[in-house]
Amino acid sequence: MLRGQADIRHPRRVRYLRRIDQVAQLSEEERRRLRPVCERYAFRANDYYLNLINWADPKDPIRRLVIPSEDELEEWGKLDVSHEADYTVAPGVQHKYPHTVLILATMTCAAYCRYCFRKRLFMPDSEETAVDFSEGIEYIARHPEVQNVLLSGGDPLVLSTGRLEALIARLRAIDHVGVIRIGSKVPSFNPLRLLDDRALFTMFARYSTPRKRIYLMSHFTHPRELTTPAIEVVHRLLRAGVIIANQTPLLAGINDDPDVLGELWLRLSEIGATPYYLFVNRPTAGNAPFRVPLTRGYQLFQESLTRVSGLGRRLRYTMSHATGKVEIIGVDDHRIYIRYHRAAKPENAGRFLAFHRDDQAYWLDDLVPVKEIDARRGNGRAHRLARG
């Protein structure tokens, strides 16, 4: 049982570690072997999060999430799988779907997930994040179709509250922007940073209004991240009027277990962080150790749902593909069925597609289509097939 493992002692001041040599729990030999990995893909951790690791277990999921492994050096995937560069309209500003603009507000996180899909941002010559937000704000102001803005990165909650407030205040001044979303793993990686900052919650209460809410897209990946301070952060965010929805990538060796996932959905529902997306982890360079085939992922997802009641079952198993947000809605003996949940091209909106089943496929590009079925032409039969 995973419950109760979260209540451990935490340091009062969180110390950041930027070099693998600073991780005292690793042997000198381990640190030596991991140096080349950290030279290719940046390492960052903090002692709050390292404290969650069971160091006696070499396969500990929290360890796997943040401590590099040599398997990352396997040649696999690309740095920008979802072609985010194609949708970049200004430095650090992406406009892929008509109603949504994404701002990469920073190139830092409170720690670095080894499976990160934007690890290119942490590389020395990256210039993809917005240093000055003015260009993005002006772009959004000129585009009245933009209803919601997603702040991401990196992690916007590593910005100072003053800087974050300046950005949110300018977005709130644009009449057509309703929802502001903030994607953050700080509630998992370093909730103490948030609990120490009363001004942050005051700021959220000011700008998350009854008519226009701020959403915090949390990134809890494993039930052991739901520590007492993390739960307190969720509580204070909710009290400040922030709505919380959780996004979790499916990761081999971390949460690819229906009991772990079911426990996560249950506990997130209990604390008010709605399970929203279970993401197919992108085939990003360095992510080979975390890959889960689509068919196995779908089976794990379905099995995890049997552990929870209605509120825990609202999430979708989805991938952020270059062409849109694609939901995997069914797998049978011969086929895999997907539907575009969001589409970059309007003609793909809601499109339903069937592919030959391939148990070694990890991404949409690996699949071979059977035929396309347009969901908008009354294909109730196709939906029944997909469900089962």
Interaction between residue 116 and ligand SF4 (CB under 6 A): yes
Query: Does the CA dihedral 193-198-199-204 come out positive or negative?
Result: positive
Among 53, 109, 140, 329, binds ligand SF4 (CB under 6 A): 109
Among 185, 335, 339, 351, binds ligand SF4 (CB under 6 A): 185
- Shortest Å, Cβ 220 to ligand SF4: 11
The residue type found at 30 is: E
Chain length of the chain: 388
Residue choice 41, 112, 207, 340 for contact with ligand SF4 (CB under 6 A): 112
Q: Let me know the angle formed at the C-alpha of 352 by 347 and 355, rounded to the nearest 5 degrees.
A: 120
Kindly state whether residue 193 participates in binding ligand SF4, applying the rule CB under 6 A.
no
Q: If binding is defined by CB under 6 A, does position 181 make contact with ligand SF4?
A: no
Nearest CB to ligand SF4, comparing residues 164 and 386: 164
Question: Is 194 a residue that touches ligand SF4 (CB under 6 A)?
Answer: no
Residues 6+ positions from 308 with CB-CB distance below 8 Å:
262, 265, 266, 269
Taking CB under 6 A as the rule, does residue 113 contact ligand SF4? yes
> What residues pair up with 247 in beta bridges, in sequence order?
277
Coil, helix or strand at residue 380: helix
Q: Is 118 in the site for ligand SF4 (CB under 6 A)?
A: yes
Q: SS3 of 147, please?
A: coil
| Position among 72, 84, 128, 155 found at the interface with ligand SF4 (CB under 6 A) | 155
Binding mask 219-248 for ligand SF4 (x = CB under 6 A): x-----------------------------
Q: How far apart are CB 208 and ligand SF4 at their closest, in Å? A: 22
The total of other beta-carbon atoms located within 10 Å of residue 266's CB is 18
Which amino acid, one-letter code, is at 40? R
64 binds ligand SF4 (CB under 6 A): no
What is the rounded distance in angstroms from the CA atom of residue 300 to the CA atom of residue 313? 13
Residue 220 main-chain phi, psi, to 5 deg? -85, 130
Helix 258-271 to helix 228-239 angle (10° resolution) is: 40
Q: Quick one: 72 or 308, whose CB is closer to ligand SF4?
A: 72
Q: Name the minimum Å distance from CB 170 to ligand SF4.
A: 23
Q: Which residues pair with 321 in a beta bridge?
A: 324
Residue span binding ligand SF4 (CB under 6 A) among the ranges 152-160, 166-174, 190-198, 315-323: 152-160
Q: Which residues bind ligand SF4 (CB under 6 A)?
A: 109, 112-113, 116, 118, 153-155, 185, 219
